[in-house]
Amino acid sequence: MQLKEIKIKNFRGYKEETSISFEDGLTGITGRNDAGKSTILEALEIFFNNKSVKIDSDDKNVESGESEIKISCVFDELSEEVVVDENYPTSFKNEYLLNSNGDIEISKVYKVQKTVSAPAILIRCMHPSLESTNDLHSLKLAELKARGKELGIDGEVQDKRVASLWRSAIWNKFDNLQLTDFDLDVSALEKESKNIYKKIEAEMPTFALFKADRESNDSDPEAKTPIQVAVDQAKKSLQQEIDELQEKIEQSVLEVAERTKEKLREMDPALASELHPRFKDKPKWTFNFTLDGEGGVPINKRGSGVRRLILLNFFRAEAEKVRVEKSSPKVIYAIEEPETSQHPSYQIMLIEALIALSCRPDCQILLTTHVPALAGLLPVESIRFIEKDENNTPKITSGSDEVLEKVAISLGVLPESEIASSRGVLLVEGHSDVTFVNHSAEQLKINGDIENTLSELGIACIPIGGCGNLKHWVSKKLIDQLGLEWGILMDSDLGDPIQNPRNVEKISELKKQGKIALLTKKREPENYLDPALFQASHGINIEYTDTCDAKKKIATALTVRKDDVLERFWPRMTAEQIKERSKYCGDDGVDRYEIEEIIQTVSQLANG
């Protein structure tokens, strides 16, 4: 189950019902300060958890005369079947619990007075309105049987112990159930139907909100570090085993209680008949973890920059798991202003880690930002822009060139200044890729393999953080306005089962548009480094293939930052090493040199 949309009404600045859709992977919510970005994430926290942010009477819109706050979430990617009683499968569709778009839509409605009531939970669905068919979810099994006999369909029910089979048989008797939009109140459901809602709850994603401004105390959920999120995920994935263990414990205790009653009945039958053993409270299954630093000082007592840095590396570690874990529970990570308390280089690392994490099929990433450098890295389709109109009402827009221009202007996402003075532009992913391309051209010219470097030809290499993000859009717009030719060079990410197909598809699309669009034959530029460099500088032999994560292997062996590997060592590569490390055999059986071919192809951009 995946979060598709949230709708909020009468909540803080959102007086009228306002909806915001979410991408399968990453959604970036942008806008100036106080536009209403954090309100979206906090509404989700209230809907899913009501813990780190709890709803209170001050959350009601101050200009509204209504006394109810409504938060609704829409989910798609639903299970085809659910089992609710006696091992008979049914489905949300067959139970008429889907909205007009075929999605699950759950609303939580809070009555606000001096305090806020527990929410009424409603399922918005296209439900039968025909008499005798519109109330089946509120009927007990005995009542369903009576209704079925009245309608003469009791002979069509295969197993008369199963409520879902009775409902199905009754609905199937009529050709036109007169489906209409309906809010099904979960509190009015009978036991069997409430079990269906429990299945919905069980399939909902785990939601984790990481706020920009949190107190540093042991009771704060984030202060316990993101490891607590991992605990929640583990509990959700093991919920069936937990439920089975709970049932066994309850059964064992109830057997003792029943034996006690039997003995009591021998002495006082009247008193024994009055006793009904039951569990007062469900077990909490609470697991609390923390991280202690050197000297036993808890990490949550360290500075805000350190805590956020731990958060950064939590997400980076999660992104690494994609290679080994393919089916962990669905989780939504909502991060408010990831730039808070972080050095600019760490800000970019965090965004890159979040983008990588969002490629996982079991993850959704929601983030807010108003920092140009970070907003520029967001994929254009992920951007949701919030701005207030003349009535101070937040408006949410996305998708169009007009919206992207507003975002770029509002947040100050600007193209690189070198573009305006160039004859052609090569877009690359990062600053180290600029070093990779320009140094290769310089060395190959010195060796007599090419006539001119790219800078001599007036071709600017511009790092944009990837293809299809806002920085790419802004840069491409200026390039088009100046009438310049442009191309792009991307890492193939060969060996990465998720990112490689995405990159191949992007490059294929650009080639169809007639653009110079290139992918490295090896995983990334670091895979072209000559291992002899490390033997000479550090006396270390490092082995790596064309498709492994060479950047990580080298950085680990030399104890340097991964992003520093190419910047430090590519300038030491000679023309001979560059050619040897990029040599491959062409279809005609002749040896070719990939990097030399890349430079020659890119040089065509100067011809207009």
Exposed, middle or buried by CB within 10 Å (0-12, 13-18, 19+), for 217? Answer: exposed
Residue 356 belongs to a domain: no
Nearest 10 degrees: CA dihedral of 215, 216, 218, 222? Answer: 70
Cα angle 177, 179, 181; round to 5: 155
pLDDT tops 90 at residue 247: no
**CB atoms inside a 10 Å sphere around CB 281:** 5
pLDDT of residue 220: 45
| Counted domains in the chain | 1
Could you read off the pLDDT of 517-540 as tens digits, one per residue? 999 999 999 999 999 999 999 999
SS3 286: coil
Could you read off the pLDDT of 295-313 as tens digits, one per residue? 666 666 666 666 666 665 6
Cα angle 565, 568, 570; round to 5: 85
Residue 124 belongs to a domain: no
pLDDT of residue 477: 79
Give, in order, the Cα–Cα distances in Å from 109 to each of 8, 10, 55, 86, 443: 10, 10, 11, 32, 67
Residue 455 belongs to a domain: yes
Residue 522 sits in which domain range?
A: 417-607
Instruction: Give the residue, 352 or 143, on which the prediction is more confident.
Output: 143
Residue 190 belongs to a domain: no
Percentage of residues in the chain having pLDDT higher than 90: 47
DSSP secondary structure letters along 107-139:
EEEEEBSSSBPPPEEEEEEEEE-STTTTTGGGS
Percentage of residues in the chain having pLDDT higher than 70: 84
Residue 476 belongs to a domain: yes
SS3 472: helix
- Which secondary-structure segment (H or E) carries 106? strand 104-111
Residue 281 token pair: 């409270």
pTM above 0.85, yes or no: no
Q: Please give the average per-residue pLDDT across 434-451, as a whole number.
A: 96
Residue 266 belongs to a domain: no
Residue 106 token pair: 């759950």
CA distance 275 to 488: 77
Instruction: Report the helix count and the strand count for the chain, using DSSP H and E.
Output: 19, 20
Could you read off the pLDDT of 169-224 as tens digits, one per residue? 999 999 999 999 999 999 888 877 788 888 888 888 888 887 765 443 444 444 44
Q: Please give the average per-residue pLDDT across 418-441, as a whole number.
A: 89
DSSP secondary structure letters along 157-190:
-S-TT-HHHHHHHHHHT-S---EEEEEEEGGG--
Could you read off the pLDDT of 110-143 as tens digits, one per residue? 999 889 999 999 999 999 999 999 999 999 999 9
Ranking 6-20, 72-86, 192-206, 365-379 by mean pLDDT, the lowest is: 365-379
Per-chain mean pLDDT for the chain: 85
Residue 575 belongs to a domain: yes
Q: Please give the average per-residue pLDDT across 506-527, as a whole number.
A: 94
Residue 409 belongs to a domain: no
